Structure 1
Amino acid sequence: MKHWMVAALLSSLVAAPAWAALKEGDAAPDFKLQASQDGKAFTYSLKDQLKKGPVVVYFYPSAYTGGCNVQAHTFAVNVDKFAAAGASIVGVSLDSIARLNKFSADPDYCAGKIPVASDPQGAVSKAFDLAVTDRPGRKDTRGDDIDHAFVERTTFVVTPDGKVAATIGGVAPLVNVDQALEAVKDIATKRAIGSGS
């Protein structure tokens, strides 16, 4: 009996991902990825975007899946609130750029308001210390096959100095967006206090 318990414990440790998302204060890895906004592909550079202010980098499992649809729509609906706090948004998944061209323009989801970037090999996702897992045989909400691995849903708020100001994971998509908005508002408040306005 004891051998069975030890074996079960060891197998659960081996099966658990050895990933732990970057934390507040960590340096965010710089990246350039092919991205799409409103159906148009372009090269997205985190370094270039940070010159304009904080960036909300949200990693999500797959375009056209339940929670990811809700999250993209909620970010798109609230994009002006993020902009008012001086922040921009980019989504990152392992979807192909072809899928993201459709997703980024879809009026029910990104609605042309937020860019979504393709990390097809998961290199950027892994650089942020996120788990990437294969889930073969999955279909999206349109009934199409999903032919890529999934990254765990985690959002990072990155400040212009390239540091992680907040890490948001393990919560529902709507809560994820709400917490990201609160984090950028907090940064904007601190910046206003620091500048004496």
Structure 2
Amino acid sequence: MERRRFTRFAPLAALAAMLVSTGARAQLSVGAKAPDFTAKGALAGKEISFSLSKHLKKGPVVVYFYPKAFTQGCTLEARAFAEASGDFAKAGATVIGMSNDDVPTLQRFSKEECRDKFAVAAATPQVVSAYDVALKRDGNATAFTSRTSYVVGKDGRIVFVHSNMDWRDHVKLTLEAVRKLKAGKKV
């Protein structure tokens, strides 16, 4: 059954694979002030409003952008973040996944693939632009976001950026960054 779900999205996976060659690059650099946002989203299947500034009062926030809910790479990445959610919590960090999916899709994704462990939210065009995560092909923006992870320190500054369409290192690298923050080490 799992295999059938991914097969259904083969055209999107093919599109994502094509777009990988364009090289996702995040313009926001370490030390930059993270653009504040409030976004509609979902946690455990319920609609929520997520405010970056509100969550930064509690500690660092991992803001990770992914292209499209329920595609193979994005599903695997969400599951990996869900599995590591306890480790992020121990390090004092909040995780928020961002895509341009609509809220009903995010409600399902938060329950089924994020396993009720962390919130996902709809990245508006303004948020996509502010974080420079529009996925581009041949220099033109597509309807997808690039796979880019930012770790935002409690002071609202970006302390770590990882932009790569391969989902596999996003969890490991952002977790290392928040652990270093907690230990008072340079990220």
- The TM-score, its normalising length taken from structure 1, stands at 0.76
Task: State the partner residue of 2:19.
Answer: none
Task: State the partner residue of 1:35.
Answer: 41
Output the CA distance in 1 between the equivalents of 2:25 and 2:169. Answer: 22
How does 1:1-197 map onto structure 2 within 5 Å? 20-106=26-112, 109-119=113-123, 121-133=124-136, 149-170=143-164, 172-190=166-184
Question: What is the CA-CA distance between 1:188 and the residue it aligns to?
Answer: 0.7
Q: What is the number of residues matched between the two proteins?
A: 161
1:46-77 Cα deviation digits (max 9, x unpaired): 00000000000000001000110011000000
- The TM-score, its normalising length taken from structure 2, stands at 0.80
CA root-mean-square deviation: 2.1
Structure 1 runs of 4+ with >3 Å offset = 16-20
Percent identity over paired residues: 39
Question: What is the CA-CA distance between 1:118 and the residue it aligns to?
Answer: 0.8
1:92-147 Cα deviation digits (max 9, x unpaired): 000000100100011xx10011100012x42201101222459xxxxxxxxxxxxx
SS of alignment partner, residue 149 of structure 1: strand
SS of alignment partner, residue 166 of structure 1: strand
Q: Is the 8 A contact 2:64 2:147 kept in 1?
A: yes
Task: State the partner residue of 1:9.
Answer: none
Question: What is the CA-CA distance between 1:22 and the residue it aligns to?
Answer: 0.7
Unaligned runs of 5+ in 1: 1-15, 135-147
Output the CA distance in 1 between the equivalents of 2:93 and 2:23. Answer: 31
Output the CA distance in 1 between the equivalents of 2:33 and 2:65. Answer: 17
Output the CA distance in 1 between the equivalents of 2:134 and 2:95. Answer: 21
SS of alignment partner, residue 82 of structure 2: helix
Question: What is the CA-CA distance between 1:20 and the residue it aligns to?
Answer: 3.8
Unaligned runs of 5+ in 2: 1-21
Note closer, same or farther for the CA distance 1:48–1:174 as it changes in structure 2 (3 Å cut): same
1:11-56 Cα deviation digits (max 9, x unpaired): xxxxx79964311000000000001001100111000000000000
Output the CA distance in 1 between the equivalents of 2:165 and 2:55. Answer: 26
